[in-house]
Amino acid sequence: MSETDTQSQRKTLLKSRTNIQGLDEITGGGLPKGRPTLVCGGAGCGKTLFAMEFLVRGSLDFNEPGVFISFEETEKELASNVASLGFDLNDLLRRKKIWLEHIYIDRGEIEQSGEFDLEGLFIRIHHAIESIGARRVVLDTVESLFSGLPSPQILRAELRRLLRWLKTKGVTTVITAERGQGELTREGLEEYVSDCVILLDHRVNDQSSIRRLRVVKYRGSTHGTNEYPFLIDEDGFSILPVTSLGLNYSSSLKRISSGIPRLDTMLSGKGYFRGSTVLVSGTAGTGKTSIAAQFVEAACKRNERVLFFTFEESAQQLVRNMRSIGINLEPWMKKGLLRFHATRPTHYGLETHLTTSIKLINSFEPDIVVLDPINAFVSGQNQTEVKTMLLRLVDFLKMKGITAFFTNLTSADESIEITDVYISSLIDTWLLLRDIEFGGERNRGLYVLKSRGMEHSNQIREFKLTNQGIDLLDVYVGPGGVLTGSARLSQESKDDAEQLLHRQEIVRQQISLERKRKAMEAQIALLRSEFEAEESQALKVIGIDKARDERFTHDMARMAKSRMSDVLTKPARTVKNGKGIRGSTR
Amino acid sequence: MKANHGTSKAGRRTVRPAKSRSTKWLLRLYVAGQTLKSVTAFNNLKIICEEQLKGQYSIEVIDLLKNPQLARDDQILAVPTLVRKLPVPVRNIIGDLSNTERVLVGLDLIGHSA
């Protein structure tokens, strides 16, 4: 409820602030001032506590003294009951800030004879109010009158008169009443108290209890109409209206490492966003907690504070187990950077978990919160409630800028995505771990199902839990999908062998080529030598012929000289011709 | 039950006072101001006591408007309330005491079965 809403309502209807955590937000500023409010609910749903807290906070925070008229518990019982909530009632009583009055009725001792009225009660309340100047009055289970006193008609009329009278006194009154069958209250008190009716409910679902509060009616004012879960713990009531948390948180651009370098690489090289919500889901034994622990260790190394909620293992067991994969969390615990909070999910109801978580977070102020695992809360058909709880937790963490890290165990027989659908929308970065069963073994695979606001790898990566932490292996994509474990190893060695063979083939081919070249060269050499032999033979013949020609020419010249012939060139020309003919015939 | 009403009442009258004769009766009537109801109650009580406990009773009228603290101390809610302080055990009767029968039962002057 925003500031302006509250202001506009103040103009129309005066409200008495309760300072009960969350209630003023739902009612838009508190209970109707100077008028009665009916708080009804079954046994053990917290009516008395609600009423008492209304008074105590009123006197402490707003300096409005209050009168508590108890029809059930004695003053002593009340004081000790609320002491468990951290209220020192005796001190308030001594300082006249609170007036406790027990009204004892025992039917067995009372006989009726004729008409009577409850003027005695009026006088007592009046006396109490006047004694401390009370502005607030509580009548705790006023219906006890009906079981204690005769004549319901008179009681009804008197109650009606009492409420009218309280209104004229101008005190803000809370009247508690037991819830009746099919009606809000056993005696139909809601007919008389028409200004504001609040219903408290305490349900048990699968052995864990959930408390809820609903404003059934608030005359003259708008109010939250939902059922709001609430909690009673050592600090009293706290109601957590979903609406009080909005979607108006700022988002960080800063990135933080997942603690696994190769996983960071898959998330565009930088890891998760600070203040985002990370979910790691997978079947049993896929290494969810280990991935969480690796993240935690990395965070602690950066000097960040981590609050680790573990719902399945004790802190010691978790630390021991993580040590086996080389993650030592103990020094960080000693240093005060890491705190474990181990509870069984069935230990309390969801709301208690939520509220205690929020309280712890507020006191420890962590940078990172781990919930391991969130499915521990799911039992039976309460997925919607779990989702609501997580939604509120996530909203709360986001508002605080705390990075949330959840793990979730999914059952093997369902599709992982379907199992987690109920929380999917809350998650920014979702890592899926899966068993890859192949070739008679199980191996761990990891992939990024989604990661809002960043590029991320689409590959399924095999990872190993080594004694130095988590190690993402190289991707091996075989013909039948990703190969893992020994299948990957055997495929790898098969590939190695093939490659060797291939290399050998190349070498072999090179050798044969070389051989061919050699053969070719040898042949060339042979041909050349043959040619050379022929050539020399031919040259020899040519030389002989030449010599013969020269001889002939010489002889002819000599003959001509001796004959004194003048034709000198002619025989030479003939010789030339003769030589040419001879050459061609050869 | 109603048929032998008169006779049983008469019968008890003769039995009970014998027991109570030796004891002192202390009755306290709580009222809130001089209302019609409180006056009626006082008058009715007076009549009954005169009839049943003549000489051995005392009536104390407490106006809660004047002594509101006593309402708390004596756990008074309804008015008028008649409290039998003595003899013990303490017994309470509320109303204007117009039903004599119920008053006698309440004061244990006749049995509850009557």
What pTM, to 2 d.p., does this model score?
0.65
Q: Is residue A406 part of a domain?
A: yes
Number of domains in chain A: 3
Query: What is the tens place of the pLDDT at every residue in A249-268?
Result: 677 788 999 888 888 888 88
A48 neighbors A102 (Cβ within 8 angstroms): no
Q: Is A439 left (phi over 0), alpha (psi -120 to 50) or beta?
A: left
Smallest Cα distance from A385 to chain B, Å? 46
Considering the domain architecture, whether residues A67 and A90 belong to the same structural domain is answered as yes
Considering the domain architecture, whether residues A343 and A227 belong to the same structural domain is answered as no
Query: What is the tens place of the pLDDT at every residue in A301-331?
Result: 999 999 999 988 888 998 998 998 888 999 9
What is the residue whose two structure tokens read 């992982």?
A416
A151 neighbors A112 (Cβ within 8 angstroms): yes
Q: Is residue A226 part of a domain?
A: yes
Considering the domain architecture, whether residues A503 and A401 belong to the same structural domain is answered as no
- Residue A381: which pLDDT band, with cuts at 50, 70 and 90? low
**A124 close contact with B: CB closer than 8 A:** yes
Considering the domain architecture, whether residues A422 and A559 belong to the same structural domain is answered as no
Residue of B35, B77, B83 to mutate for A, most A C-beta atoms under 10 A: B77
CA distance A86 to A500: 78
A196 neighbors A32 (Cβ within 8 angstroms): yes
Q: What pLDDT is recorded for position A480?
A: 61
Q: Which one of B65, B72, B99 has the shortest CB-CB distance to A101?
A: B72
Q: What pLDDT is recorded for position B112?
A: 53
Considering the domain architecture, whether residues A291 and A431 belong to the same structural domain is answered as yes
Q: Is A223 helix (H, G, I), strand (E, B) or coil?
A: coil
pLDDT at A168 over 60: yes
Q: What pLDDT is recorded for position A254?
A: 87
Considering the domain architecture, whether residues A23 and A166 belong to the same structural domain is answered as yes
CA distance B80 to B96: 6
Q: Give B75's contacts in chain A (Cβ within 8 Å).
A: 103-105
Output the domain CATH number for residue A400: 3.40.50.300
**B83 CB contacts (<8 Å, ≥6 apart)?**
B27, B28, B29, B30, B74, B90, B91, B92, B93
- Residue A161: which pLDDT band, with cuts at 50, 70 and 90? very high
Cis peptide before A229 (omega within 30 of 0): no
Q: Is residue A57 part of a domain?
A: yes
Contact A104 B75 (CB under 8 A): yes
Q: Compute φ and ψ for A366, nearest 5 degrees.
A: -80, 165
Residue A570 belongs to domain spanning = 489-585
Q: What pLDDT is recorded for position A178?
A: 87
pLDDT at A575 over 60: no
**Angstrom distances, CA of residue A411 to CA of A375, A388, A415, A417:** 10, 21, 8, 11
Helix (H) or strand (E) holding B43: helix B36-52
Q: What pLDDT is recorded for position A227?
A: 82
More confident of the two residues A228 and A417: A228
Q: Is A212 helix (H, G, I), strand (E, B) or coil?
A: strand
Q: What is the mean pLDDT of residues A535-544?
A: 91
Contact A127 B68 (CB under 8 A): yes
More confident of the two residues A243 and A143: A143
Smallest Cα distance from B45 to chain A, Å? 11
Q: What pLDDT is recorded for position A585?
A: 43
Over pLDDT 70: what percentage of chain A?
86
Domain boundary among A213, A244, A275: A244
Q: Is residue A110 part of a domain?
A: yes
Q: What pLDDT is recorded for position A580?
A: 45
Q: Is residue A481 part of a domain?
A: no
**B105 CB contacts (<8 Å, ≥6 apart)?**
A111, B111, B112, B114
pLDDT at A543 over 80: yes
Give the β-pairing of A429-438 and A277-282: parallel
Domains of chain B with bracketed CATH: 5-106 (3.40.30.10)
Minimum mean pLDDT range among A350-364, A370-384, B4-18: B4-18
Contact B77 A121 (CB under 8 A): yes
Q: What pLDDT is recorded for position A99?
A: 92
Q: Is residue A157 part of a domain?
A: yes
Q: What pLDDT is recorded for position A447?
A: 85
Smallest Cα distance from B100 to chain A, Å? 7
Q: What pLDDT is recorded for position A421?
A: 59
Q: What pLDDT is recorded for position A526?
A: 93
Q: What pLDDT is recorded for position A10?
A: 45
CA distance A175 to B53: 44
Q: Is residue A561 part of a domain?
A: yes
Q: What pLDDT is recorded for position A584?
A: 44
Q: Is A415 helix (H, G, I), strand (E, B) or coil?
A: coil
Considering the domain architecture, whether residues A471 and A501 belong to the same structural domain is answered as no
Q: What pLDDT is recorded for position A126?
A: 93
Cβ atoms < 10 Å from Cβ of A569? 7
More confident of the two residues A222 and A481: A222
pLDDT at A273 over 60: yes
More confident of the two residues A109 and A525: A525
Q: Is A310 helix (H, G, I), strand (E, B) or coil?
A: strand
Considering the domain architecture, whether residues A272 and A373 belong to the same structural domain is answered as yes
Hey, CA dihedral for A358, A360, A366, A369, is it positive or negative? Answer: negative
Considering the domain architecture, whether residues A522 and A564 belong to the same structural domain is answered as yes
pLDDT at A7 over 60: no
Considering the domain architecture, whether residues A384 and A505 belong to the same structural domain is answered as no
Gyration radius of chain A's alpha carbons: 49
Helix (H) or strand (E) holding A128: helix A119-132
Distance from CA of residue A210 to its chain's centroid?
Answer: 23
**A160 close contact with B: CB closer than 8 A:** no
Domain boundary among A224, A244, A264: A244
CA distance A388 to A359: 18
Q: What pLDDT is recorded for position A581?
A: 46
Burial of B87 (0-12, 13-18, 19+ CB in 10 A): middle
Smallest Cα distance from A232 to chain B, Å? 31
Q: What pLDDT is recorded for position A54?
A: 92
CA distance B4 to A447: 94
**A323 CB contacts (<8 Å, ≥6 apart)?**
A329, A330
**A300 close contact with B: CB closer than 8 A:** no
Domain boundary among A244, A274, A300: A244
Query: What is the tens place of the pLDDT at every residue in B2-59?
Result: 344 434 444 344 444 444 456 788 999 999 988 999 999 999 999 999 988 888 889 9
- Pick from A110, A197, A107, A117: which is nearest to A144 by CA? A107
Interface of B to A at Cβ within 8 Å reads: 30, 32, 35, 37, 40-41, 44, 64-65, 68-69, 71-72, 75-81, 90-103, 105-106
pLDDT at A241 over 70: no
Q: What pLDDT is recorded for position A2?
A: 44
- Token pair listed for A23: 């209630």
Q: Is residue A541 part of a domain?
A: yes
- Residue A379: which pLDDT band, with cuts at 50, 70 and 90? low
Q: Give B35's contacts in chain A (Cβ within 8 Å).
A: 119
Give the β-pairing of B25-31 and A196-205: unpaired
Q: Give B96's contacts in chain A (Cβ within 8 Å).
A: 113-116
A407 neighbors A281 (Cβ within 8 angstroms): yes
- Pick from A577, A529, A532, A533: which is nearest to A552 by CA? A577
Considering the domain architecture, whether residues A75 and A222 belong to the same structural domain is answered as yes
Considering the domain architecture, whether residues A570 and A530 belong to the same structural domain is answered as yes
Query: What is the tens place of the pLDDT at every residue in A9-22?
Result: 445 688 888 888 78
